Amino acid sequence: MVGEGTIGDGTWESIRDDVETSVRDAVRRAHGVIDGGFEATVIGGDGGARGTMTFVVRVEHEYRRRLWSALTMATTFGERSCAYDVLGMEESLSALAETTR
């Protein structure tokens, strides 16, 4: 899944762990500890203009909809307001690269 978030003034390297924590928190807030207890790993990202970041999250196929809904409903990144936009979702990284160009 590729997501984009407006998250302030940081470089990707300085906030990668914060992005992963934010993704996991969003899943748990939306789906609870039990249903939100699946592994979602941020595997890459890049900084964009005016505080936007684009990042790739790896999740097992069966949990993709839960991740998508959690990010769509999320409104915070740490203590800051944010908005996430899911740009694409595919079964493999190569398919994702093809659809998000």
| CA gap 75, 72 in Å, rounded | 8
What would the pLDDT profile of 52-99 be if each residue is shown by its tens digit?
A: 778 889 899 899 999 999 999 999 887 888 888 888 888 888 888 888
3-class secondary-structure state, position 83: coil
Give residue 22's identity as a one-letter amino acid code.
S
Of 10, 97, 100, give the one whose Cα is nearest residue 47: 10
Domains, the chain, ordered by start: 2-93 (3.30.70.3250)
Q: Where residue 39 falls among pLDDT bands split at 50, 70, 90?
A: confident
pLDDT at 74: 92
pTM above the 0.85 mark? no
3-class secondary-structure state, position 75: coil
What would the pLDDT profile of 9-25 be if each residue is shown by its tens digit?
A: 556 666 778 888 888 89
- The secondary structure element, H or E, covering residue 59 is strand 52-59
Of 89, 11, 94, give the one whose Cα is nearest residue 52: 11
